[in-house]
Structure 1
Amino acid sequence: MAALLITYDLNKPGQNYDSLYEKIRELGTWWHYLDSTWIVVSSLSPSQAFDRLKPSMDASDRMLVLDITKDTYSGWLTQAAWDWLNAHV
């Protein structure tokens, strides 16, 4: 299993992105602590995950999907956020 970082800019004001959020949740165990960032534990590669999400986006939107590991993250988060990351990444 991989931990995928999914981050995006949704650029169409007023667009309903509920289907995108549901598709992200379907990828696996997820964490959504920051507005435009999710981490999903999934058996999919970054390109496979993106291929599943792309149909729920508009042409003006942007998305980046990366594989992350415990050695590749750092930041300023709450203890609950660190606990989730340490348990799943």
Structure 2
Amino acid sequence: MASVYLISYDLRKVRNYEPLIKTLRDWGCVRPLESVWVGYLKGGAATIRDLLVAHMDTDDGLIVVQVPAGSDWAFRQVKEDAGALFRQYVRA
């Protein structure tokens, strides 16, 4: 079953964002902030993490957090497509 996931990364030394960004875009994720993405994805957080680390260096950081429907959330000055995703799938 699909759920909303919040994904954030910190590319530390070599900053080649393109493979990671391409994967996130291919999955239909949207970017509310510079290094934060949200998407309505299938699979668990560990599975998503494992698929994304293939596009990262070993010193890079990554966090994947499931945001279940009904969760409390708030944002300010994010891109509208991210707000729409939260309103559609998380609501609250």
Structure 1 residue runs without a partner (length 5+): none
Within-5 A mapping of 1:16-55: 16-26=16-26, 28-55=27-54
Q: What is the root-mean-square deviation of aligned Cα atoms in Å? A: 2.0
| Cα 1:5/1:43, change in 2 over 3 Å | same
Partner of 1:77: 77
Larger % of helix: which? Answer: 1
The list of structure 1 runs, each at least 4 consecutive aligned residues, that deviate by more than 6 angstroms after superposition, is none
Identity fraction in percent: 24
Per-residue CA deviation, residues 16-59 of structure 1 (Å, 9 max, x unaligned), is 22111112223x33111200100011111110000100111112
TM-score by length of 2: 0.79
Structure 2 residue runs without a partner (length 5+): none
What is the CA-CA distance between 1:78 and the residue it aligns to? 5.0
Partner of 1:5: 6
What is the CA-CA distance between 1:77 and the residue it aligns to? 3.1
TM-score by length of 1: 0.81
